[in-house]
């Protein structure tokens, strides 16, 4: 099977859904941020503070190219992956991309308790977070919308996702 890449904003449920899909479909789960952390032997915040966002994007692009040569993976990508270099093209060529959509309000609600390990939002209050997400989504949607499949990620029923990706 060609790889399936879950894409979308931080907090949209990519890792949780990818893990469940991999289990149900008997495929291998891969989290791109975890792959980078293992490879670099550094956390994502450490990478950001040492080489900045642009350095992180280079590392992320290289990691994506490496995993694109593999098969049978359900990949949870980082929220920025589709928006840099030709990453969206790499994923669409080598597999199926699934954009998990949620409203800025719902994303902010889900992200508030777990923003500390996400350098782009770690210092924002809940109100600032909704504004930040709204603005970022305006920039990012044109990339996310290149996905093979676009669905809401509100559902907790794994069968909904299994049906969606078999379209």
| Residue number, 12 or 159, with CB nearest to ligand S3P | 12
Residues 125 and 98 sit within 8 Å (Cβ to Cβ): no
- Taking the complex as a whole, how short is the minimal distance between the CB of residue 31 and ligand S3P, in angstroms? 7
Under rule CB under 6 A, residue 6 binds ligand S3P: no
Interface residue with ligand S3P among 102, 119, 144, 151 (CB under 6 A) is: 119
Under rule CB under 6 A, residue 51 binds ligand S3P: no
Q: What token pair was written down for 84?
A: 């840099």
Q: What token pair was written down for 161?
A: 């996702």
Please state, in angstroms and rounded to a whole number, the distance separating the CA atoms of residues 10 and 29. Answer: 18
Under rule CB under 6 A, residue 94 binds ligand S3P: no
Residues 156 and 139 sit within 8 Å (Cβ to Cβ): no
Please state, in angstroms and rounded to a whole number, the distance separating the CA atoms of residues 135 and 138. Answer: 5
Q: How far, in Å, are 42, 75, 86, 124, 136 from residue 19 at the CA level?
A: 23, 9, 25, 28, 26
Interface residue with ligand S3P among 25, 51, 59, 120 (CB under 6 A) is: 120
Under rule CB under 6 A, residue 82 binds ligand S3P: no
Under rule CB under 6 A, residue 13 binds ligand S3P: no
Under rule CB under 6 A, residue 57 binds ligand S3P: no
Under rule CB under 6 A, residue 90 binds ligand S3P: no
Q: What token pair was written down for 65?
A: 């190219």
- Taking the complex as a whole, how short is the minimal distance between the CB of residue 86 and ligand S3P, in angstroms? 17
Residues 92 and 57 sit within 8 Å (Cβ to Cβ): no
Q: Where does this chain touch ligand S3P (CB under 6 A) — which range of 21-29, 90-98, 113-121, 154-162?
A: 113-121
- Cβ–Cβ contacts within 10 Å for residue 76, how many? 28
Interface residue with ligand S3P among 13, 79, 82, 95 (CB under 6 A) is: 79
Contact residues: ligand S3P, CB under 6 A: 10, 14, 33, 44, 78-80, 118-120
């Amino acid at each position: 099977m060609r790889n399936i890449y879950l894409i979308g904003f931080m907090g949209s449920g990519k890792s949780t859904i990818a893990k469940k899909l991999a289990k149900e479909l008997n495929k291998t789960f891969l989290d791109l941020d975890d792959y980078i952390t293992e490879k670099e032997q550094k956390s994502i915040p450490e990478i950001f503070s040492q080489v900045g966002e642009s350095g992180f994007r280079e590392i992320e692009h290289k990691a994506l190219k490496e995993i694109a040569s593999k098969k049978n993976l359900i990949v949870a990508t980082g929220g920025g992956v589709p928006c840099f270099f030709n990453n969206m093209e790499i994923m669409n060529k080598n597999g199926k991309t699934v954009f998990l959509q949620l409203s800025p309000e719902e994303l902010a609600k889900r992200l508030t308790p777990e923003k500390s390990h996400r350098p782009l939002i770690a210092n924002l209050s809940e109100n600032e977070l909704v504004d930040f997400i709204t603005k970022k989504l305006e920039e990012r949607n044109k990339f996310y919308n290149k996905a093979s499949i676009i669905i809401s990620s509100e559902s907790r029923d794994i069968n909904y996702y299994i049906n969606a990706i078999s379209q």
